[in-house]
């Protein structure tokens, strides 16, 4: 009765940031569960990171550009005539990303908020309106962060070369609130909108940072990209048909303590 509950067969998915650290695994997961996946990213050179067994329809996308978003959506519709799933996983940022709060200029702040949160706004709006034209229904999944839920613990950055960028928390908190707004706004059209908030994901960070992070995580490790795939499949499929406006936290218990 439930063996196809997580199936995405006959569904068309658009994954922004689909060649990124987490995006690649999401593309693989949706592909494995039957979706036709459009991988949209600004970095085409990362295509080789996807296995040959994954069917990829690559589209160039800069989510900070409304014109680029329009062209990408047109390309999806030309190829598949519909879109059922949007996963916003793109992570645009400026060259000074990671500077200390007191060193961040207002221009940098505005550029990061506009390109990241603004890009999610543009992608969601364009896709949701297309879903309405298709007769309603569809699933939009935005990537937020635990740092949109709780304050950063700056002790884990002490003695390392990194910090938590000030704009990041504002952006990801905004993504969560914006997701809830959209969930309510488009509920009448049977368009579900949810978000995922990962905890720290391992990406070859220095040992001191990793050790401090792991020590504060109940499950005793950092996340890996594959940890996000099941959540995306759940929210993209009929398994979550009565779930909207939800922020699914995947953090090994970090925010539970």
pLDDT of residue 53: 59
Q: At what angle do helices 66-80 and 118-133 cross, to 10 degrees?
A: 30
Q: Is 168 a catalytic residue?
A: yes
Domains of the chain: 12-248 (3.40.50.720)
Any idea of the CA torsion for 60, 181, 130, 33, to the nearest 10 degrees? 70
Query: Are the beta carbons of 55 and 33 closer than 8 angstroms?
Result: no
pLDDT of residue 49: 63
108-136 burial code (b ≥16 CB/10 A, e <16): bbebbeebbbbbbbbbbebbbebbbeeee
Pick the catalytic residue from 91, 147, 168, 186. 168
Bridge-based pairing state of the strands 138-143 and 191-198: parallel
Copy the structure tokens of residue 90: 């793109």
Give the single-character DSSP code of 48. G
Copy the structure tokens of residue 131: 């879903």
pLDDT of residue 55: 73
Nearest to 28 by CA among 5, 2, 49, 43: 49
pLDDT mean for each 10 residues of the chain (257 residues): 91 97 96 96 78 77 97 97 98 93 96 98 98 95 98 93 93 98 98 98 96 97 98 98 98 96
Whole-prediction pTM = 0.96
pLDDT of residue 51: 59
């Amino acid at each position: 009765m439930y063996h196809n509950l997580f199936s995405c067969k006959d569904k068309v998915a658009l994954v922004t940031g689909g060649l990124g650290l987490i995006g690649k695994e999401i593309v693989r997961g949706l592909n494995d569960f039957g979706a036709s996946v459009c991988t949209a990213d600004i970095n085409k050179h990362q295509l080789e990171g996807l296995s040959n067994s994954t069917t990829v329809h690559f589209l160039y996308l800069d989510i900070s550009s409304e014109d680029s978003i329009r062209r990408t959506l047109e390309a999806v519709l030309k190829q598949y005539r519909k879109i059922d799933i949007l996963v916003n996983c793109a992570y645009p940022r400026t060259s000074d990303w990671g500077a200390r709060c007191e060193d961040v200029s207002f221009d940098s702040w505005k550029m990061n908020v506009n390109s990241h949160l603004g890009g999610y706004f543009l992608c969601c709006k364009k896709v949701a309106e297309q879903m309405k034209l298709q007769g309603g229904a569809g699933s939009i999944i935005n990537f937020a962060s635990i740092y949109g839920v709780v304050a950063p613990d700056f002790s884990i950055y002490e003695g390392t070369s990194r910090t938590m960028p000030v704009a990041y928390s504002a952006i990801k908190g905004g993504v969560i609130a914006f997701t809830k707004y959209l969930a309510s706004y488009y509920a009448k059209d049977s368009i579900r909108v949810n978000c995922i908030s990962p905890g720290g994901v391992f990406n070859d960070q220095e040992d001191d940072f990793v050790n401090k992070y792991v020590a504060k995580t109940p499950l005793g490790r950092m996340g890996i990209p594959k940890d996000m795939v099941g959540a995306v499949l759940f929210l993209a499929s009929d398994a979550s048909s009565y779930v909207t406006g939800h922020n699914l936290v995947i953090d090994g218990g970090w925010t539970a303590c």
